[in-house]
Amino acid sequence: MISFLRPVKKDRVVKDDELLSTYYKYRKLSLSGVFVGYMGYYLVRNNITLSTPLIKTDLAVNNSDIGLITGSMLIAYGISKGVMSALSDKADPKRYMALGLILCALINVLLGFCNALYAYVGAVIALGVFQGMGVGPSFITLANWYPKKERGIYTAIWNISHNIGGGLVAPIISKSVLILSPVLGIAAADFNATYWKVNHFYVPAILALLISVYVLYAVKDNPKNEGLKELNEINKLRGYEEDIKNSASTTDLSSKEIFVKYVLKNPNAWYVAWMDTFVYMIRFGLINWLPIYLLSVKGFSKEQMHTAFLFFEWAAIPSTMLAGIISDRLFKGYRMPPAILAVCIIFFMIIGYFTSDNIYYTIFFAAAAGCLVYVPQFLASVQTMEVVPAFAVGSCVGLRGFMSYVVGASLGTMLLGAMVDAFGWNAGLYMLLFACIMCIVFSLLCHFGAKNKKF
């Protein structure tokens, strides 16, 4: 780990009478920092999805080529997420997260100069690599500052950051045209046709750079490095008794030893990884093809497609919050029962989305699928923090991220695109229904594994 990214223990020690007040202040700041920071990662990521119809037109390519672009980014992200999240276990979360966001912004600037298929592929691969620096610090921060009893709701709050960021991309792109076109003296139609890369790539990049500054200010390292006590000691002061192994935030093991002992040899880590793999196949099989599918098959206008995209992302916000509360309070910390229920409903929403000819029903089914697909994804995230000790969270996130993106997301992008070109959109429908069934199977394994976990 380079010196800039290494965590630094603060010299000061917080007085006992200020301990809890400082703890509450720092954890709120840290939550806000990873929330806004991860939202920023999606501003410079989901803009690629919204750009695919324009890229397809500009380059005169087919669905398989678009699947190559989006799939290459996701595979690179999955590999990077595995490596970068494991490395983040030994890094200062705020510097690690901010650096990745800055690099993502710079790649978005580079995308504005791409004018060939493989130029886009190369740029989005680089983007995927740097996107892998966002999630590890987020989970580590949550594990450092929140006990298991509270992780469901607070992880739910963090989790909606990517829905907000992903959903904000569409209005940011649309509104920036209205702002920039008169400033530059260019008609909005001409701006969208000729200068679309400005609002699709440059504007999100600028916003990401500004957000990285807030990340550096707000996110804190673990309580002990910030001059407080260990989290398990703070929990005792608050009346929370937890397994000290799950609260431990430090270890003398190397990153490799942590990964092998607590993740690679842990069947519960594999169950949650496979469960999330099929969730991501569903998610990206829907969201990455939504712009092209709605425009070319359902006959939506660009504005209607942007509305459906926004609903797909933002409909997940209330359902994710509710899932966090329910899994904490109703199911006493067991995360999989509400996840299984959500996937069962998604199964039928996918059928409606593909078969409906009514524009309003189609938007409803898309929004309902978006409302629910993030529930099992979010609950898999919480489960990840609870099947390994806190010092191995980054490594476990890495395995789950590698599997969900390299396998799941690539199946939902590249393979689905190839299958649609070869057999039509019904092939995509059957692939996504199969993914729902497999997701339920591994969710059940996750549930029973969580009841008997040992680490």
Q: Report the C-alpha gap between 292 and 295 in whole angstroms.
A: 5
pTM, full prediction: 0.73
Return mean pLDDT, the chain. Answer: 83
- Give residue 45's pLDDT band: very low, low, confident or very high (50, 70, 90): very high
pLDDT of residue 322: 78
- Joined together, the tokens standing for residue 51 give 């750009």
**Closest Cα to residue 362, out of 371, 376, 372, 351?**
351
| Contact (Cβ atoms closer than 8 angstroms) between residue 204 and residue 169 | yes
pLDDT, mean of residues 232-236: 82
Q: Select the highest-mean-pLDDT range: 195-199, 388-392, 440-444.
A: 440-444
pLDDT in tens, 258-270: 888 888 888 888 9
Q: What is the largest CA-CA distance in the chain?
A: 68
pLDDT, mean of residues 137-165: 84
pLDDT, mean of residues 413-435: 86
pLDDT, mean of residues 342-347: 92
Helix orientation angle between 302-314 and 359-386, rounded to the nearest 10 degrees:
30
Q: How many CB atoms lie within 10 A of CB 239?
A: 6
**Closest Cα to residue 413, out of 219, 205, 124, 210?**
124
- Give residue 321's pLDDT band: very low, low, confident or very high (50, 70, 90): confident
Q: Report the C-alpha gap between 105 and 129 in whole angstroms.
A: 13
Q: Which residue has the tokens 């190559």?
A: 68
Q: Which amino acid is at 107?
A: I
- Give residue 42's pLDDT band: very low, low, confident or very high (50, 70, 90): very high
Q: Report the C-alpha gap between 65 and 67 in whole angstroms.
A: 5
Q: Give residues with Cβ within 8 angstroms of 152, minimum separation 6.
A: 324, 325, 327, 328, 333, 335, 382
Using CB atoms within 10 Å of the CB of residue 451, give its burial: 0 to 12 exposed, 13 to 18 middle, 19+ buried: exposed
pLDDT, mean of residues 134-152: 84
Percent of the chain with pLDDT over 70: 94
Q: Select the highest-mean-pLDDT range: 89-93, 99-103, 150-154, 188-192.
A: 99-103
pLDDT of residue 243: 46
pLDDT of residue 191: 74
- Give residue 32's pLDDT band: very low, low, confident or very high (50, 70, 90): very high
Cα first-last separation, the chain: 27
Of 177 and 36, which is predicted with more confidence?
A: 36
CATH, domain range 14-451: 1.20.1250.20
pLDDT in tens, 242-255: 544 444 445 567 77
Q: Which amino acid is at 406?
A: V
**Closest Cα to residue 4, out of 82, 111, 94, 83?**
94
